[in-house]
Structure 1
Amino acid sequence: MKARLQDALAQLPGAQGERFRRVLAHGSMSVEIYAPQGTDPQQPHAQDELYFIVSGRGMFHSGGERHPVGPGDCLFVPAGREHRFEEFSNDFVTWVVFWGPPGGEGAIA
């Protein structure tokens, strides 16, 4: 399996104006491209996730903390945690990887 950035970006926005698109999936793992515009309306997700910042800059809010982010940064968000990107540039793009069971790997006994 392979996902190319150019091909993923060409699928945005989606038919309903979505700023994300799933580009790979296998088992519990899925990979999306995400390029919010203006605001980041996402809600907490059921799975653990990783973000790999491709382009642009901004602030990442998660768990009551804020961190500056830019190209090359990798961020982890456990399942169920509120998070969002803020004050991001117009060229902001990130890969998002979701995996594991609902509730995250910490939910596995």
Structure 2
Amino acid sequence: MVPSDWMFSLESALATLPEGPDGRFAYPIRHGSMRVGVYAPLGIDEQAPHEQDELYIIASGTGTFTKNGERRPFKPGDAIFVEAHALHRFEDFSDDFATWVIFWGPKGGE
């Protein structure tokens, strides 16, 4: 079955985000084990490791991404792979930071 909402622009996905500093995350597209979300934290990224593999595609903003202790700068258009259970977070990001995030596959990663 094809989801009824199968295409989103960044602007329409950001409009689905809850107000306030907490919960700046929404999944506008889901199918099977795959979830496509938009993530736009305010000020600080307090996420914990996830049970599935994930892929971030930076939509706007700049900053630094830390994974398992290694830090790298990011900018719009960059893709970042994070394996299941890896420690990671966005740091020192600009106020306009937003990213697509795609989760898929079994718990524990592929």
TM-score under structure 2 length normalisation: 0.91
Is the contact between residue 54 and residue 92 of structure 1 (CA under 8 Å) also seen in structure 2?
Answer: yes
Aligned to 2:104: 99
Q: Measure the CA separation in 2 of the matches of 1:63 and 1:12.
A: 28
Of 81, 85, 102, the residue aligned with 1:76 is 81
Aligned to 2:3: none
Aligned to 1:30: 35
Q: How many pairs are equivalent?
A: 105
Aligned to 1:10: 15
Deviation at 1:16, TM superposition (A): 8.5
SS of the residue 2:65 aligns to: strand
The structure 1 segments of at least 4 consecutive aligned residues displaced by more than 6 Å after TM superposition are none
What whole-Å deviation, never above 9, does each CA across 1:61-106 have from its counterpart, x for those lacking one? 002100000100000000000100000000000000000000000x
Deviates more, 1:69-78 or 1:16-25: 16-25
> Unaligned regions of 5+ residues in structure 1, if any?
none
Deviation at 1:51, TM superposition (A): 0.2
Structure 1 vs Structure 2: percent identity of aligned residues? 56
Task: From the superposition, tell whether residues 40 and 16 of structure 1 become closer, same or farther in structure 2 (CA, over 3 Å).
Answer: closer
Deviation at 1:14, TM superposition (A): 4.7
Two-structure CA RMSD over aligned residues (Å): 1.4
SS of the residue 1:96 aligns to: strand
